[in-house]
Amino acid sequence: MPRDEHRRGPETDLERLVVRPEGAAHETPILFLHGMWHGAWCWRDWQQILAEKGWESHAIGLPGHGASPRRKSVRFSTMDDYLTVLKSEIERFERPPIVIGHSMGGALVQWFLKKVADDLPAAVLVASWTSHSTIADGTLGHLKRDPWGFIQMGWTLSSTPLVRSPESVASLLITDGATVTAAELHARLCEESALVLSQHNPPFWKPKRNVASPMLWVAGERDAVITLKGARRSADYYGADFLAVADSGHNLMMEKTYAETAGHIDRWLREKAP
């Protein structure tokens, strides 16, 4: 069985979940980066599956997420704060890692490719914020479903009202048959900044062209956060390979298709970053 380590690294105070395969492993490790409200814990199932296929993986919790302590108020955290964390974590590895980012984590990968270095061994964007406008590519649709959540977000400067109840979580993040219930998922989610949402939109954000890193864009066909159209357009912009997962919502790592999706990622990585 893969070896599962739950610890805080000696170099930083961040929570870090490390899963190592037994026997021979691929030379390139994987770094997992979670999205809004989540923590390192959300990757455990994929880490176990990929370890069985020979991949060593590290999932971190951003400050104030999961078991990672706060460094400042999460409400006033920015994409720049989170990018600093990602840069530091990547630099910890002796060999540059593959980076897999979900939702806001996928946006942070895009920021890294533009602002720091665009030559990662590979990047996998999972239900990621799109390359251009997150508002046009999903937010407007959810605004219609949950106007009260957006009103609360506006006056609190926190995006937490969007996941204020199990019902909100079910509407936004998962579909029927997920590996967790809406109540279980809601209980694990944490506070999140609303500032980060505006930073990944024009005029503050413009994506880089001609990224050198091999990229895979993975989208859920029933994603309530990001439209399939926006995901495809983003993959085309970056020249990324594209995978649409049928009958699946935003949290692809805990949807009923989670094992199949992890298998697709494994096969792609074997080809692109052996």
132 vs 104 pLDDT, higher one: 104
Nearest CA-CA partner of 159 in 180, 183, 181, 129: 129
Q: Estimate the crossing angle of helix 79-92 against helix 104-115, to 10 degrees.
A: 70
pLDDT given at position 69: 85
Rounded mean pLDDT of 73-90?
92
How is residue 189 annotated by DSSP?
-
Q: What is the pLDDT of residues 93-129, one digit of tens each?
A: 999 999 999 999 999 999 999 999 999 999 999 999 9
CATH number at 163 reads 3.40.50.1820
* Most confident segment among 142-146, 155-159, 191-195: 191-195
pLDDT in tens, 7-65: 544 445 899 999 999 987 899 999 999 999 999 999 999 999 999 999 999 999 999 99
pLDDT tens, residue by residue, 167-182: 999 999 999 999 999 9
How many domains are contained in the chain? 1
pLDDT in tens, 194-221: 889 888 888 889 999 999 999 999 999 9
Through-space distance between the first and last CA atoms of the chain, rounded to whole angstroms: 22
> Structural domain of residue 29, as residue ranges?
3-272
What's residue 171's pLDDT? Answer: 92
pLDDT in the model for residue 4: 55
Q: Tell me, what's the pLDDT at 61? A: 96
| Model pTM score | 0.92
Count other C-beta atoms under 10 Å from residue 90's C-beta. 17
Other C-beta atoms lying within 10 Å of the C-beta of residue 260: 12
Q: What is the pLDDT of residue 147?
A: 65
Could you give the CA distance from residue 133 to residue 110 in angstroms, rounded to a whole number?
A: 13
